Structure 1
Amino acid sequence: MEQKKNTILFVGLFSFLLGLVPMARAQIPQWEKCERFIEPTSEALLDPEPKGPVDVTADQVEVEKEGLSIFSGDVKFRRRGQWLDADEVLYNKPTNTVEAFGDVRYQDAMMDVISDSAKVNLETDVGVAENARYFLRDYHARGVAAEAEREGSVKTELQGATFTTCDIGDNAWQLKASQVSLDHEEGVGWARHARLKLWDVPILYAPFLRFPIDDRRKSGFLVPSVGSSSNSGVDISTPYYWNIAPDRDATITPRYLSERGPMLAGELRYLNPRNHGRILGSILPHDDKKGDYRGAFSYQHTGSPWSRWFTNLDINLVSDDTYFEDLGNSLSIASTTYLNNQLDVSYQGEGWYALGRFQSFQTIDRTIPGFSRPHQRLPQLLVDGYFPDQFLGLDFDFHGEVVNFQRDALPNGVRLDLWPTVSLPFRTPGTFFTPNIGVRDTRYFLDDTPPGTDNTLSRTLPIFSIDTGAIFERSLALWGSRLRQTLEPRAYYLYIPFENQEDFPVFDSAPLDFYFARLFQPNRFTGADRLNDANQLTLAVTTRLLQSSTGDELLRASIGQIQFFRDRKVTLPDFSEETDSSSAIIAEMAARLAPEWLLRGELRFDPHEERADLGTAELRYRGKGGSLLNMGYRFRRQLLEQVDISGRYPITKNWSVVGRWYHSIADDRLLEVLGGVEYDSCCWAIRLVGRSYITNIEGDRNNSVMVQLELKGLGNLGQNVESLLRRTVLGYGEQF
C-alpha cells in the first residue's frame, strides 16, 4: 500500500476520533491523589506533537477490484505520538470512507479512545463511532458515549454520554446526558436531560444545560453559593457571568439574606493593552434588620496612556458605618475605619519620577471628631530624583513635594517641602563608607489662621550623616555541613541642628514605628511636618549562616541601638521631650531550623525601664501532604498582647482538620476562632467549617457555618470555603 494512502487513512480516521473529546484541550488541574488510569503503552506516545511517517502492519492485506482495501488481523497504525489498533480496517476508495472494527483503540499523549467500531468519510470528514469510551490522561477524566457522530471540525453529537474525573471503579460523581451537542466553532456545548449523580443518587437535573468546551469565556450562570451566619441568616447567591467582549466581562450576583432581604452585587472587569481595572458594587434596597438602604461601591483603574506615563484610580464608597460589620466577611474588613479615594498621574523619567495626586478619605466611624480625621490632598505634587556616580563620583538625590491639605477642621493650607542631598560613597569588596549632606526646606501657607498668628511658616535645616560598615566572613563545619558565617558591623552617625517647630501644623506626621531598619533613617517622624533634631550614633551588627554549596541563608540575627549625645526637643503635640541617652535595643532573628521549619522573632527592649516594649515571635512548619502549622505571638506594651495559632493536619490520606485560634491576652477576648474538617479524594472534596469573629469594638460577633462540595473538573457547590481558608490560615493551599 502506498505511503500516501496510509497517511490519508490514519489522519482521516483519527482526526475524527481525536475530535470526539474536546475537553482534553481544557485547563489541566492537579490530580495528585489519583491513580493514573490507562497508561501510555509506549514512550513514543509521550510526544505532544505527532510527527514523522505512518507505519502500517496487519496479518493480512487484501485489495479487491472494486477499490476496497481490507487490513485484517491485529491492524496497527503507528506514528510517533499517535497509535491506532483495530481487528479490521476497511478502505473504500469509490466512497472514500474508512471503517474500523473490533477493539478499536486510539492513543496519543493526551487521551485514549476505545470503541467497538468507527467510520469516517474522508471527503466530508463526517463519521460515527459506536460504544466509545474515552480517557483523558492529564485531566483525569473519562466517560462513555453509546454513539458519537462528528460533522468535520464543526459539530459533534453524543448519545448516552457520561463524564467523570473519578478513578475507574469509583463513580463518586458522574454527569450523564441523553444527548450532548458540541459546537467546535463557538466553543460551546449543549446537554439535554443532564443529571448529576453522587454515588448513583441523582441530586441535580437540568432539561437543558449549556457549557464551555474550550478555554474561551462563555456567558452563563455559575455554581450557586449557600451559607448561613448569625448576622444575616441564610445566605444564597446565584452569580451570572457575562462575557461582554474579549477585553471585558462582568459578574452579576443576585443574593438573598433571609434576615435582611434581597441584595444585588456586580463586578465589571476590563483589560486593554494600556489599562486594566474593575468596578465593584452592591446594593441592598431595604435592610429588614436596619430598616434602611445599604450599599457599597469600588473602582480600581491602572493604566499607561503613553510611554512613561502612568495613571492609577482608586475609589471606595460605602453607605453607612456598619456596612462592613454586617455584610463583610472577615475581621480585617469589619475593623476598617477609613476608605481611601485617590487619583494618581505619574511620569517615570531617566533617574527621576514625578507624581500628581488627588486624595480624600471617607471616614466610616462617624464618632471620630473632625480634628482627628485625615486631611485630603487636593492636590499633591511630588518629584523624586536619583543620579548616581556623577561629577567626582558624587551621588545626587532630590525630593520635592507641594501639597494642599484640606478638611472640615483647621488647620488647612499648602506645604512646600524641598530636600536635596549629595553623597560620596567609597566601596571596597568588604567595606563601605558613605558621607551624606543635605538641606531640607519646608514652608507653610496656611488658611484662616487665628488673629495675631502667622499664616506663613518656614524651616530650613542641614542634615549630615555618615554610614559605614564592613563584612567579615569565615568558613566552618557545623551539624555535618560546610557553612559560611558573616559578621557585619555597621555604624551610622546623624547630625541635624534643633529648630523649634511647635507652631507648625501637623498634617500627616506621626512617630515612626521603631524597628531595626529605622536605626539608619534620618527622621523619626513620618511626613514633613516634623524634622527631628539629632546628634546620635547608631551601632549595629548582623551575622548570617549560609550554606556553602548553595548560598541558602540558614540564620540571620541582628542587633542595634542608637546612642544620643543630646536630648531630642522636637516633638508632636501631647508628646514630651526625649531625654534618654540611648534608644531601645532592637534585635531581630530568622532561622531555617530545618527545611520544614522557619523561626522568626523581633524584640524591642528598653534598657532604662529594663523591660520589653515590643516583641513578636513566629514559628512556621510546612510538611509533606499539606500539613502546616503557624504559631504567632505579638505584644506591644500597654496596647496589645495576642496569640495567633493556625494550621492544617492530615489525619489520613484523605481526611484532615484545619483551624485557627486568634486570642487577645490583653483583654481576654477571642478575636477569631475557626475549626473545620475536610475530605479530599481523587475526584471530589468536601469542606465543613465553623467560624466566629468579632465585628466591632463593642465585641459583637458573627457566627457562621460553611460547607463546600468540590467536584473536581466540574465545579463547586456551596460557599467558597477554600478561599476563606487561604485568607485565614497562612500557607493553606500552597505547594511545598
Structure 2
Amino acid sequence: MHGVLALLALGAGCLPAQVLAQADAATATESSTLRLKQGTRLREVLPEAVRSELPTFVSGDQIESQTDAVTVIEGSAELRRHDTVIKADRLEYDQRSGDARGTGHVLINRQGDRFTGPDVQLNVNTDKGYFTEPEFTLLRNEGQGDASRIDFVSKDTTIAHNARYSTCPRTPGERWMPDWLVRATRIELDNVEEVGYASGGVLEFKGVPIMAAPYFSFPTSDKRKTGVLPPSINFDSQSGVELMVPYYLNLAPNYDVTLYPSVMSKRGVDLAGEARYLAPTFSSRLRAAYMPSDKLRDRDRWAYALAHNQRLGESLGAWGPIGLRLNLNRVSDDNYWSDFPRSSTIQLTTSRLLHSDAVLGWGHGPWSASVGAYKWQTLQNAGSPITPPYDRLPAVGVNYSRINQSLLGSDGWDFTVQTNFTRFQRSVAAASGTVKAGGDRALAITDLTHRWEAPGWFVQPRARLHTTQYQFDGATGASTTLSRAVPTASLDSGLVFEKPSSFWGREYVQTLEPRAFFTWTPFRDQSGLPNFDSANRDFSLASMYTENVFSGNDRISDTRAVTLGVSSRLINPDTGAEVVRLGVAQRYLLEDQNVTLPGGKPVTERLSNILLSGRVQWDPLWSFDSTLQYNPKSRESVRTTVGGRYTPGPYRVLSAAYRIQRGVSEQIDLGWQWPLSALWGDAPARVPGRALGPGQWYSVGRMNYSMPDRKIVDLIAGFEYDAGCWLGRVVLTRLQQTTTKANQSILFQLEFSGFSKVGASSLQTLQANVPKYQYLREEISPPSRFENYD
C-alpha cells in the first residue's frame, strides 16, 4: 500500500461486541478519574484481557501488511494502541505477538509520559520492551531525564540505566545540564506508587554533589512519599554550623513520621522527630528531640511535646460522650529555650512557661463535667527570674446550663451553674530552700440573664452569685478555712441607628451605636484570701463592658460603675463589608474600688482612661487599625497602637505597626513579603501552583525595633529565589533573649520541585513570624494525560 498517507486498523474486525462494550465503559472512566484516589491510572481500571483485544491503528507514508503477519510502516510511521502511541521513521509490527520495533526519531507516549530516542522494541500487549539512548518526560511532575537504556518491565514499571533525572526543563541543544539532577546507575520508576528508586545515586546542584547514597527514593508526583526532605544549613552564634537533613516516612495513609537529624559543630548530634497519627476517634502528634552529651553544657539535652485528642465513645447512651485531651510539653533544663530558640520540637522563642495538661470531658444535654490535671514547667533565668504559676492537681468541674428558657412569663432566659474543685500547688525557690505553697478551692457560680432585643435596641440584665470556699496554710502555718459569697448585678443596653450616607461618591449605610453598661458588686474583704489564678485584665473595650476587672476567681472586684460608649460604622450596602469602624468608651466609678490584688492599691479615681479605637478598610488592598488609651487627668496617652497593612496582590504584603506604652516600651514592628521585580514595575502574573513564575526574587522578613534603646530587638529577614525547578532561601535571624544576650543565625535552605517539596527550618521560621506569608508553592489538580497528547 503506497501513498502520501495510509491508515489501517488491525484486528478491529475480530473484536467481540462485549469486549468493545467493556473498553467503552473503561474509557468513559477517564472523565471521572479525579474522583478516584490520587495516582489511579486508566490502565489499572482496564482489564488485561480487554487491552489485548483492543484494535491497533497504524498510519504512515507507506504501509506493507499481510493478515496475521508483520506490518511495515515507513515515513511518518505511527502506531496507536489504546493509551500508547509510537511514532518513528520506520515501524515493524507483528500482529500475532504484539511486538513493535521502531527506528529513527522514535517517540513513545504512554498516558502522557513521553520517551524519545533512536531505537525501541516494545510489545504492546504486555508493555514489555526496551529503549536505547532515550530521553524521557514524566507528566505528573514534569520530570525530565535521559539514560543509556530503558527497560519497560511492565505497564507500570520502567527501569532506566545510567540515568539522569531532574524536574528542570530541558534546554535546546545536545547537552542538557539542569541546575539540579539525580545521577544514578539505575532508576526504577513505579507508576502505581508514583515513586522513583535510585541505586548508586548522587544529588547534584549546580554541578556540585551535595548528597550521595547507595539507594534512595523520590516522588514523581505530589503524592505523600517516603524520602529525603530539603536539607538546611544554619550558622548560629551559639551552636555553630548546623546541618539538618530531614527524612519523611509515609508509613500509612493515616500515619507518618518525620525525622530531623542534625549536626551542630559546637554541640554535637541532635536527634529529633515528629510522628502523626489520625484515626476516626482520635488524633495524635508527638515531637521529640534528644542530644546526647551537649559539648557546651556537658549534659544530655532532650525535649518532647505530645498533643492527643480522642473520643472515648461516640455515645454512651444516656451518659453521653466522653473526650480525652492530652497536651504534654517538657524539656531537660532551664537553658533549653535560649540554647534552641528554633527547636522543631517545642516553640520556645517567646515563652519560658511550658504548659502540660490532661483532661477528661463529658457532656449530655444541659450537663457537662471535666476532670483534669494542669502543670507548668518554668524555665528560670538568674538574670530575670519569674514566679511560676500554680499547678492544678486536680481540677474537677460540673456545669449545668439552660439556654432560652421560659421564666417570669417570657422566653429567652439563660440559667447556668458552674461548680469547680481545684487543688493548687507550686514550689518557689527561697533563701531557706524550696518552699511549697498551695491550697484547695471550691467554687460555685450561678448566673441568670435575659436579652430583650429588637431592630434598633437591646437590653440585657444579669444576676450572678459567686461563692467560694478555701482551705490553705495561713501565715502561722496552721490550716485555715475561709469562705466568700459575692453577688453581682449588671445591665447592658444599646441602641442602633442607621441612615444612608454618601462619601466621596460612594453610597454607604452609616450607623450610630450608643451603649451603656451598669454593674454593681458590693465590697467583700478578700485581703486574707490566697491568690491562685487572678490577674488584672488588659484594658480594652471588651474588659470595660465586664463586671469583674480581674481574671480568674480569687478576686472579685467591687466594681460599682457605669460604662458609656458609642461607635459608628460605615457599611457597604452591596457586600455588607465594614469599611470604617470608630469607637470610644469610658467608665465612671460610682464608689471607690477597694478590692485589689496582693500589693495593689485601691482605685479612687472616678473616671477611667478613655479608650478610642478605629479601623478603616476603604479599599480591599489597604487596612488601618488604631487604639488609643488616653488619661484625661494628665492629658496624655497611656498606650497607643497604630498599624496598617497593604496587600496589592499575591505574594505582596507590607505591614507596619507603632506601639507605645508610656514609661514601659516604644516599638516599631515591620513585616513584609515582596517580589523584587515589583520594586521597579508591575509584578508578573500569578502562575497556578508556582507563585509568580520562575526567575523571581522575593524579599521577606519582620523587624521589631525599640525606639528608646535605638536597637533592633528581633529581626527575621531574608531572600527567596524561585528558579522554577528549585527554590532557595537565605534568612538572617536575631532573637533577643535577655537585655544583654541575643541569638543570631543565618539559615540556608534548598527545595527541589517535584523531588522534595516539604520545607523545614527557615520555611517554618518565616511562616510562624511573617504576617500573611505565602509559601511559593501550592497544591494544584493532577494534570490530565491529554495535556501531553500525541
Give the superposition deviation at 1:325. Answer: 0.7
For 1:324, give the aligned amino acid. W
1:654 and 2:696 matched: yes
- Quick one: distance in 1 between partners of 2:287 and 2:672? 32
Partner of 1:626: 651
Paired amino acid for 1:276: S
Answering whether residue 439 of structure 2 is matched by residue 413 of structure 1, we say: yes
1:637 aligned partner, one-letter code: R
| 1:399 equivalent in alignment to 2:418 | yes
More displaced, 245-254 or 514-523? 245-254
Residue in 1 that maps onto 2:573: 548
CA separation of 1:178 and 1:434: change in aligned 2, threshold 3 A? same
Q: Does 1:156 align with 2:162?
A: no
CA displacement 1:617-676 (0-9 Å, x = unmatched): 222122336232221222223322221123233322623333433122344443123443
Shift of 1:490: 1.9
In the other structure, the counterpart of 2:34 is none
Instruction: Map 1:438-477 to 2 at 5 A.
Output: 438-444=464-470, 446-450=471-475, 455-477=480-502
2:357 to 342, 354, 357: 342
Q: Which residue pairs with 1:33 in the alignment? A: none
Q: Relative to structure 1, is the Cα distance of residues 543 and 508 closer, same or farther in structure 2, using a 3 angstrom cutoff?
A: same
Task: Give the equivalent residue in structure 2 for 1:320.
Answer: 333
Structure 1's 585 and 109: CA in aligned 2 closer, same or farther, altered over 3 A? farther
Rounded to whole Å, the distance in 2 between the matches of 1:261 and 1:597 is: 48
- Aligned counterpart for 1:268 among listed residues 270, 275, 286: 275
1:725 is aligned to 2:750: no
Q: Structure 2: how far apart are the matches of 1:436 and 1:485?
A: 30
Contact 2:272 2:289 in 1 (8 A): yes
Q: Residues 90-489 of structure 1 correspond to what in structure 2 (within 5 A)?
A: 91-98=93-100, 114=116, 119-130=121-132, 132-136=134-138, 139-153=141-155, 155-169=157-171, 171-183=178-190, 188-200=195-207, 204-213=211-220, 221-243=228-250, 247-307=254-314, 308-329=321-342, 333-365=348-380, 372-391=387-406, 392-393=410-411, 394-408=413-427, 409=435, 412-444=438-470, 446-450=471-475, 455-489=480-514
CA distance in 2, matches of 1:586, 1:332: 34
Q: Which position in structure 2 is the counterpart of 1:612?
A: 637
> Alpha-carbon deviation of 1:99?
5.2
The secondary structure found in structure 2 opposite 1:533 is: coil
Q: Secondary structure at the match of 1:574?
A: coil
Residue deviations 1:441-498 (CA, integer Å, cap 9, x gap): 2222x13334598822222232222222232222233334332222222222212222
Equivalence for 1:32: none
Q: What displacement does 1:526 show? A: 0.9
Distance apart, 1:145 and its partner CA:
4.3
Identity of aligned residues (%): 29
Select which of 756, 761, 770 maps to 1:715.
756
* Alpha carbons of structure 1 residues 604 and 329: separation in structure 2 relative to 1, 3 Å: same
Distance across 2 between alignment mates of 1:629 and 1:148: 51
Q: TM-score, normalised by structure 2?
A: 0.79
Preserved contact between residue 422 and residue 436 of structure 1 (Cα < 8 Å): yes
Q: Secondary structure at the match of 1:594?
A: coil
Q: Which residue of 2 aligns with 1:568?
A: 593
Find 1:687's aligned residue among 717, 724, 729. 729
Q: Answer whether contact 2:232 2:748 (CA < 8 A) is retained.
A: no
- Would you say how many aligned residue pairs link Structure 1 and Structure 2? 704
Matching residue of 1:587: 612
Give the counterpart letter for 1:337 in structure 2. R
Distance 2:82 2:583 in 1: 59
Larger deviation, residues 379-388 vs 330-339: 330-339
| Matching residue's letter, 1:292 | R
Q: Is the 8 A contact 1:75 1:86 kept in 2?
A: yes
Structure 2: distance between partners of 1:54 and 1:488 = 77
Deviation at 1:270, TM superposition (A): 2.6
Mark the runs of 5 or more structure 1 residues left unpaired by the alignment. Answer: 19-24, 28-48
- The question of whether the paired residues in 2 share the 8 Å contact of 1:593 and 1:599 is answered with no
Q: Deviations over 1:224-268 (max 9, x none)?
A: 433221101122234444555554443444432222233333333
Please state how far the C-alpha of 1:211 moved relative to its aligned partner: 3.3
Matched residue SS, 2:535: coil
Q: Which amino acid is 1:603 matched to?
A: L
Q: Which amino acid aligns with 1:406?
A: Q
CA contact (8 A) 2:637 2:662 kept: yes
Summarize the Cα distance change of 1:673–1:424 in structure 2 as closer, same or farther, 3 Å threshold.
Answer: closer
Residues of 1 paired with 2:396 and 2:513: CA distance? 39
For 1:701 and 1:716, the matched residues in 2 are separated by: 32
How far, CA to CA, are the matches of 2:249 and 2:193 in structure 1? 16
CA shift in 2, pair 1:427/1:104, >3 Å: farther
Q: Is the Cα contact below 8 Å between 1:616 and 1:633 reproduced in 2?
A: yes
Determine the C-alpha separation between the residues in 1 that align with 2:559 and 2:602.
Answer: 13
Structure 1 residue 732 displacement after superposition = 2.3
Compared with structure 1, are the counterparts of its residues 722 and 265 closer, same or farther at alpha carbon in structure 2 (3 Å cutoff)? closer
Aligned equivalent of 1:663: 705
Provide the secondary structure at the position in 1 that maps to 2:617. Answer: strand
Deviation at 1:734, TM superposition (A): 5.3
Residues 1:4 and 1:152: Cα distance change in structure 2 (over 3 Å): farther
The partner residue of 1:676 within 698, 713, 718 is: 718
Distance in 1 between the 2:594 and 2:55 partners? 89
Note if 1:703 corresponds to 2:728.
no
AA aligned to 2:274 is E
Alpha-carbon spacing, 1:659–1:213, altered in 2? closer, same or farther (3 Å): closer
Q: Give the partner amino acid of 2:753.
A: K
Change (3 A) 1:252 1:725: closer
SS class of match (2:459):
strand
Secondary structure of the structure 1 residue equivalent to 2:764: helix
Aligned equivalents of 1:413, 1:80: Cα separation in 2? 79
Question: Cα deviation per residue 1:255-288 (whole Å; 9 max; x = unaligned)?
Answer: 3222223333333333222222233332333232
Contact 1:104-1:114 within 8 A present in 2 as well: yes
TM-score of the superposed pair, with normalisation by structure 1: 0.84
Instruction: Tell whether the 8 Å contact from 1:542 to 1:558 is kept in structure 2 after alignment.
Output: yes
User: Equivalent residue of 1:324, what SS?
Assistant: helix
Task: Give how far 1:136 is off.
Answer: 4.5
* 331-340 vs 306-315, greater mean Cα deviation: 331-340
| Cα gap change, 1:434 to 1:675, in 2 (>3 Å) | closer
Contact 1:708 / 1:716 at 8 angstroms: preserved in 2?
Answer: no
Contact 1:466 1:492 in 2 (8 A): yes
Match of 1:642 in 2: 667
Measure how far apart 1:527 and its partner are: 0.9
Aligned residue type for 2:456:
G
What CA deviation, in whole Å up to 9, does each residue of 1:546-589 have, x standing for no partner? 22222222222222122222211211111111112222212222
Query: Counterparts of 2:634 and 2:492 in 1: how far apart (Å)?
Result: 29
Q: Which residue of 2 aligns with 1:21?
A: none
Cα distance, 1:482–1:293 mapped onto 2, change above 3 Å: same
| 2-structure distance, mates of 1:448, 1:647 | 54
Question: Which stretch has the larger CA shift, 710-719 or 600-609?
Answer: 710-719
Secondary structure at the aligned position of 1:550 is classed as coil
8 Å CA contact retained: 1:90, 1:98: yes
Whether the 8 Å contact between 1:296 and 1:317 is mirrored in structure 2 is yes
